Structure 1
Amino acid sequence: MATDYLEHNLALLAHLRTILGALGESEQIPEDNHGLFLDRFDELLAELPKHPEENHYLGQDLISQVFHRYPQVAHLVPRDLLWFFGGDCLHFMPDEEIARYQALDERRFEAEAAGKPFDWNQEKQLMFLPENGQTH
């Protein structure tokens, strides 16, 4: 797993953690188990950089739980995290989006194999442009 790609997703996780923390502070959700959920989220943030493969399933589980426990912020979950963790997280993505992320990942793997730099965000913008160049 490339370090830049992992760091990109760690930054997205940290941002999501901030959103979840603010949700609890705003008292928009019942406190029961929210603190425990945030503790598990913090564990993921601490352990994922050290052991990415071993913590992948925990990430899938936590991201999926965000959709079920906190539907009011589900739209704020970065789509990149759904792709990064895969598994059950892919149920929250339409097939067309999955196909685009697959193509994006293939570009990333090709660049890494060739020893070329790969800017995930720039490539994603190019991949996700409307087909006819029109924007809404």
Structure 2
Amino acid sequence: MANPYLDHHLALLAHLRGILVALGEAEQVPEENHALFVERFEELMSELPRDPEASLYLGQDLISQVFHRYPQIAHLVPRDLLWFFGGDCLHFMPDEEIALFQRLDERRFEAEENDEPFDWNQEKQFLALPDESGKH
């Protein structure tokens, strides 16, 4: 069964992996350690669909390491990944952003309970609108 929520985050991980690979190809980081890090990142991408719960800790660790090892690309880390993995990753999010993602998750769970479709990106854009624009 397809899981659009998981697929969305796998696509974001693939995007971040591409950034990490490009960083290595540009010789902006020491090659040996970087290659091992990218290898662990690829391991996360292959394990996540098989066992999402067990992969959360590895994801938290790797995403947190991106901020510490590669501060020059920290601004390129998709914010959705910080929320998805949670734990230590939440330290890199301001309170307002955490509140937005909490509301987003509540809407997602509500849609799942009611067997309704849910478009993560569309809902995120809707919730990010200023209060006066977002009211129905």
- Partners of 1:131 and 1:25 lie apart in 2 by 43
Alignment of 1:68-83 (within 5 A): 68-83=68-83
- The residue number in structure 2 matching 1:16 is 16
State the AA in 2 paired with 1:17: R
Greater share of helix residues, 1 or 2? 2
Partner of 1:54: 54
Residue 63 in 1 paired to residue 49 in 2? no
Normalising by the residue count of structure 1, what TM-score does the alignment of the two structures yield? 0.94
Q: What is the TM-score of this pair, normalised by structure 2?
A: 0.94
Match of 1:124?
124
Partner of 2:27 in structure 1?
27
Q: Deviation per CA, 1:61-114, whole angstroms, max 9, x where unpaired?
A: 000000000000000000000000000000000001101100000000000000
Q: For residue 85 of structure 1, what is the aligned residue in structure 2? A: 85
Identity of aligned residues (%): 74
Letter in 1 for 2:48: L
Alignment partner, residue 42 of structure 2:
42
- The letter for the 2-side match of 1:79 is R
User: What letter matches 1:45 in structure 2?
Assistant: M
Alpha-carbon distance between aligned partners in 2 of 1:89 and 1:122, rounded to the nearest angstrom: 23
Query: How many residue pairs align between the two structures?
Result: 132
The CA RMSD measured in Å over matched residues stands at 1.1
Q: Which amino acid aligns with 1:85?
A: F
SS of alignment partner, residue 46 of structure 1: helix
Distance 2:110 2:43 in 1: 32
